Structure 1
Amino acid sequence: MRAAILHAPGDLRVETVPDPVIEQPTDAVVRVVAAGICGTDLRGLAGHPGPVRGPRCGHEFVGVVEDTGSDVRGLRVGDLVVSPFQFSDGACAACTRGVPSSCRSGGMFGVDANGGQAEAVRVPFADATLVQVAADPGDDRLPGILALADVMSTGTHALASAALPAGATVAVVGDGAVGLCSVLAARRAGAERIFLFGRHANRLEVGKSFGATDFVTARGDEAHAVLLDATGGVGADLVVDAVGEQSALDTAMAVCADGGSVALVGGPHGGVDMMMCFLRNITVTGGLAPARTYLPGLVDDVLSGRIDPSPVFDHVVTLDDIALGYEAMAARTATKVLVRP
């Protein structure tokens, strides 16, 4: 089969590799119908710090079950499934506490197991990892389902990890796919006012359709002043940092209301001032999203039409041309790229 292989920073190729097979009785083999490119993948291609080092790439995929191990009970050949970006055993203490992202037997696709940017994937702990989708592989809602594998689950986690007061104000720092999905999650959670910090007109339009009510296109102190002025100097009840760079972390802290929360879901590459958190009673929350916990409810929401995160995908490439998808996201001419095998 064909798969995206990262040989070294800047050297991504599509090559023929052995077809995946059942290695453990709890495995399944999934034929990929659609995959995604993530900002984490871009960091790996650029050689920046992060989990993605190669050789296999991709942790977001939707596909059809082609084979199952002898211990798999909940899946059948032919089922359409979506996978969270991490696999997990579903039985350990972390999994039973609702944080399968901390499963000691688990790991990340494209890092600790086959990558999803391929024609097929071996999925460990298939029953505990994969979620069935009551649709067919040609369903128009498939991009929305694919968005649940990572970015929409991550946005959902940002909101779920903080207690919002009635009529809450939420600020989302970053207009990438995670930021946009955080806006959609904030609307889903009942936030009354949602500020989106970003500078890309097309992404802000998507944010508006997702429920953003206010937009901040300035940066630094000027951006902080815009939100604080708009809230009468109070700030936001919850600030979602969907970027992770130090400038975004600084903005999140500056615009958070005293007694509010900052949700770190952008993979922080900097730090927060803990003394400031202490003095201002700011709760730091978020973390690596336990996507598998949220997937069943989110799948129902997409299939029922209650949410549609598919607009985060604004570019489609074939697997053979996946390097063009990486280039489009790196150049910010695409928000998020969907890959068809």
Structure 2
Amino acid sequence: MRATFMYGAGDVRVETVPDPVLRQPTDALVRVVTSCICGSDLHPYHSMPAGETRPMGHEFIGVVEETGSQVSTVKRGDLVIAPFAWSDGTCEFCREGLQTSCLHGGFWARDGIGGGQAEAVRVPLADGTLVKAPVGEDSDLLPGLLTLSDVYGTGFHAAKCANVGPGDAVVVVGDGAVGLMAVLSASRLGAEQIILMGRHKDRTDLGREFGATDVVAERGEEGIAKVRELTGGRGARKVLEAVGHLPAYEQAIGVVRPGGVVSRVGVPQYDTAPVGFTSLFGPNITLTGGPAPARAYIEQLMPAVLDGTVQPGKVFDRAIGLEQTPDGYRAMDDREALKVLIRL
């Protein structure tokens, strides 16, 4: 089969590798129908040392081709959504809805498991991981359903961790796909004011469509001052940080009001950040967030995607074939594309 690998910063290749096979009775083999490139894939694209090799991709929808003898929830021919972490669905953390901390789970493209930017994937712990979608592989809803594997669930996790609810004023830092999904999620949860901090008009226009009431293009102290002006001088109670770089974190700290919450879902690209008296402790600010347990949210978010109430698939602004995946990375890195869909 064909699969995508990264060989160092900026070096993405599609190569021929052996087909995956069942190894455990709890495995399933899934033929990938559609996948995508994540903003977090750009982190190794910028910094991965030369000489390393890793399979790529952690978001995919596919058709079950074969199952192990202990798999009971999906069968051959089912169209399934794979969240970005695989999990058993039975351990204490899975039962608490924290599948990213599953005692027996893991993540695609690690631990000997292939990536989703490929023609097929071996899915461990299929019963706990895969979610059947009630559509065919030719459905127009596939882009929206694909967002449930990561980006929509991650944006929803940001809003949920911040306890966004009716009447809230919310700031979303970042106009990438996750930030836009955080806007959509905050709107769905009833937020009254949603300020999107982003400076790419095509993206912030989509953010307005998803529910943003205000857009702040300024950054740094100027951006912080603008947000505070829009929030009566005090800042917002709920701030969702969807970037992962230190300036975004500092911006989030700058716009949250005393007693508020900063919810981070952007994968941090820093090891230290202000958490002391003047940043978090003194004003009683709560810091929360983390890797989204997307599996916990798929069934909750899917109905509105199926009936067209929400259209999160609009974050995909370019579609390519698997062989063009290196071009997709370049397009996202050059800000020529927001999020690239891969059709197989």
The two structures have a TM-score, normalised by structure 1, of: 0.96
Structure 1 ranges of 4+ moved more than 6 A = none
Displacement, 1:336?
A: 0.4
Where structure 1 has 5 or more consecutive residues not aligned to the other structure, the ranges are: none
The letter of the residue matching 2:261 is S
Measured in 1, the distance between the counterparts of 2:303 and 2:276 equals 39
Query: Kindly tell me: are residues 31 and 292 of structure 1, through their superposed partners in 2, closer, same or farther at Cα, counting changes over 3 Å?
Result: same
Match of 2:73 in 1: 74
> Does 2:150 align with 1:150?
yes
Measured in 2, the distance between the counterparts of 1:58 and 1:296 equals 22
The two structures have a TM-score, normalised by structure 2, of: 0.96
1:5-44 correspondence runs (5 A)? 5-44=5-44
Measured in 1, the distance between the counterparts of 2:309 and 2:14 equals 37
1:225-236 correspondence runs (5 A)? 225-236=225-236
> Does 2:166 align with 1:163?
no
Query: Kindly tell me: are residues 48 and 241 of structure 1, through their superposed partners in 2, closer, same or farther at Cα, counting changes over 3 Å?
Result: farther
**Preserved contact between residue 57 and residue 111 of structure 1 (Cα < 8 Å):** no
**Preserved contact between residue 183 and residue 194 of structure 2 (Cα < 8 Å):** yes
What whole-Å deviation, never above 9, does each CA across 1:131-178 have from its counterpart, x for those lacking one?
010001111110001111111000010111122364100000000000
SS of residue paired to 2:7: strand
Measured in 1, the distance between the counterparts of 2:264 and 2:276 equals 14
What whole-Å deviation, never above 9, does each CA across 1:290-339 have from its counterpart, x for those lacking one?
11000111122211222210111001111011100000000001010001
The letter of the residue matching 2:72 is R
Match of 2:330 in 1: 327
**Preserved contact between residue 301 and residue 307 of structure 1 (Cα < 8 Å):** yes
1:114-153 correspondence runs (5 A)? 114-153=114-153
Measured in 1, the distance between the counterparts of 2:202 and 2:335 equals 11
Measured in 1, the distance between the counterparts of 2:72 and 2:46 equals 41
Measured in 2, the distance between the counterparts of 1:141 and 1:24 equals 32
Where structure 2 has 5 or more consecutive residues not aligned to the other structure, the ranges are: none
Measured in 2, the distance between the counterparts of 1:192 and 1:297 equals 22
1:215-234 correspondence runs (5 A)? 215-234=215-234
Match of 1:62 in 2: 61
SS of residue paired to 2:199: coil
What whole-Å deviation, never above 9, does each CA across 1:4-46 have from its counterpart, x for those lacking one?
1222332211111111111100000011010010122111222
Match of 2:259 in 1: 259
Aligned-residue Cα RMSD (Å) equals 1.3
Q: Across the two proteins, how many residue pairs are aligned to each other?
A: 338
Measured in 2, the distance between the counterparts of 1:54 and 1:125 equals 25
1:282-293 correspondence runs (5 A)? 282-293=285-296
> Does 2:317 align with 1:314?
yes
SS of residue paired to 1:110: coil
